[in-house]
Each structure stands twice: as structure tokens, then as C-alpha cells.
Amino acid sequence: MIDFNHVTLEYPVTRTLALEDLTMQVARGEFIYLVGHSGAGKSSFMNLVLKRALPTRGEVRIAGEPLSRYRGRRTPLLRRRIGTVFQDNLLLHHLNAYDNVAFSLRVIGVPQREWPQRVTTALRTVGLEHKKQALPLQLSLGEQQRVAIARAIVSNPPLLLADEPTGNLDHENSREVLKILQNVNLRGTTVVVATHARELVETFRHRTLTLRKGRLVRDDPDGGYSL
């Protein structure tokens, strides 16, 4: 699903070396953690997959296609195949939970008649079907993050990227979010979670990639948090 081949990323303005000679693969249907200190390169990895940045050297392939194939107007087609969840949930505060999730379908041009069923299913998956009328500010942070996950999965993307999805959440809500992401993975979606949360990585064990100063220093198929 994701294939990095000797990828280096240097940000042009600051000349910061974000990733250096990174080679790794994520298979279809896998659940992986990406761990590392701040500045280790986790977000840069996400930016490359989303084509918010381009590699300085090396090649990135998503679902077998090189990133360079998604030029200009084709970039949105790539992003439609990737669900995204961020620490800051990026919900639109003037829309209720239902409309926030439906917004994803509107943006990619799904016919309106399909929205109720698909949105309801997505909200049910994250356990918030009963709160579809609530505005984001009427929801707890954990619930907001669950709405963000519903928005990310409503278009059934084959890949889900979660960048510090539990960064703002307490222990209980963090576990809840992780369980939901695991359920999404069990349905066949490839899930990549960038996180600092040692306890979660230790508890819900999956393949774990450890980055340090832009380099891959550990690839543990059995999981476990070790920086």
C-alpha cells in the first residue's frame, strides 16, 4: 500500500533534513505505528503520503503508483483514497456531527441520496449515531475525534492516516479511539498511526516503526515502544 524507496526529504526554505534515506513498506490491510520524538519525521512521512511535500530524493509509491503520477489536478484523486485524522480534529464548527461527516461526501461528489445511509453507518462505527445533531463544541474532545474518524472513513478509503490522534485526549478516550481505529483496520483498511502514546503502543500491539532524526532505526513486527 505504501512503498518508500530510499526517500530523503529536505525542506527547501529551512534546509531541515526531515527524512533521510528512508526505505520501508506498509502492506495492504496492515496496522502500523510510527513512533519517535518530536522532529523525528513522523509528520513528514504523513506529508509525503498526502503529497503535501515531495521527496528530495528517492521514490514514494501509494497503492503501486508513484507519487509523481498524481500531478496538479490529480492530487485530489490521491487524497480521496486516504482518510486523515489529526490531533487537532479539524472539524468545521458551524456544522453538526452529521454535516461534518457528510461534508467529506459532498467534497468528492457523492450523490446526496447516498449520504444518510453512509453517514449513519460511519457514525455508528464510532458509536456516535445518537449525537449526529450535536455541534462540535457540544461534544467532548474524545467525541470530536471520533466524528473526525467517521469523516475520514465515510468515503471508504483503502488507507487511513492518523497523526497523533490521541494527543489531546485522556487515557480513556485514547483507548476508545484506538479501538475504533483497530475496528476500521479489521474491515480491511490499512491504518498508519503516528503517536507518542507509549501505553497505547504497548497495549494494542502492532508492527511499530521507530524514527530518529529522520532515519528508520527500528522496525518491530511484534510491536512495543522503544525510542
Partner 1 sequence: MMYHLRQALLAMRANFTATFSTLTTMTITLLVLGAVLLLTLNVNRTLEQLEAQVEVAAFLKDDANIPALLGQVKLYQGVHDARLVSREQVLAEMTRDYPYARDAAALAGNPFPNTLRMRVERVQDSRRIANIVQALPGVATVEYGANYVDPAVKTLNAIRTAGYGLVALLLLGTLFNILNAVRVAMFARRNEIGVMRLLGATPAFIRMPHLIEGVLVGLIAAVVSVSVLAASYLELAKRVAQLVPVFPIVTDLNTIAPILVGIALLSIVIGLLGSLFATSRYLRELE
The yes or no reply on residue 215 touching partner 1 (CB under 8 A) is no
| Comparison of 64 and 72: residue with beta carbon closer to partner 1 | 72
The yes or no reply on residue 24 touching partner 1 (CB under 8 A) is no
The yes or no reply on residue 57 touching partner 1 (CB under 8 A) is no
Three-class DSSP category at 94: coil
Residue type, 117: Q
| Comparison of 27 and 107: residue with beta carbon closer to partner 1 | 107
Burial class (CB in 10 A: 0-12, 13-18, 19+), 216: buried
Helix intervals (H) in the chain: 42-49, 75-79, 97-107, 115-125, 141-153, 171-186, 198-203
Q: Minimum CB separation from partner 1 for residue 47, in Å? A: 11
Pair 196, 2: CB distance under 8 Å: no
Residue numbers 130-169 binding partner 1 by CB under 8 A: 151, 155
The yes or no reply on residue 108 touching partner 1 (CB under 8 A) is yes
The yes or no reply on residue 103 touching partner 1 (CB under 8 A) is yes
The yes or no reply on residue 54 touching partner 1 (CB under 8 A) is no
HSE-up (13 A, CA, CB side) for residue 70: 23
Q: Minimum CB separation from partner 1 for residue 112, in Å? A: 9
| Comparison of 107 and 217: residue with beta carbon closer to partner 1 | 107
Round to whole Å and give the CA distance between 129 and 152. 16
CA 73: distance to chain centroid? 22
| Comparison of 131 and 151: residue with beta carbon closer to partner 1 | 151
With CA atoms as reference, report the closest residue to 136 among 95, 107, 164, 105. 95
CA 157: distance to chain centroid? 11
The yes or no reply on residue 73 touching partner 1 (CB under 8 A) is yes
Query: Which listed residue (84, 87, 173, 174) binds partner 1 by CB under 8 A?
Result: 84
How many residues in the shown chain lie near partner 1 by CB under 8 A?
Answer: 19
The yes or no reply on residue 70 touching partner 1 (CB under 8 A) is no
Determine the interface stretch with partner 1 among 21-29, 78-86, 186-194, 213-221 (rule: CB under 8 A). Answer: 78-86
Round to whole Å and give the CA distance between 156 and 195. 23
Residues making contact with partner 1 (CB under 8 A): 50, 73, 76-81, 84, 90, 92, 103-104, 106-109, 151, 155
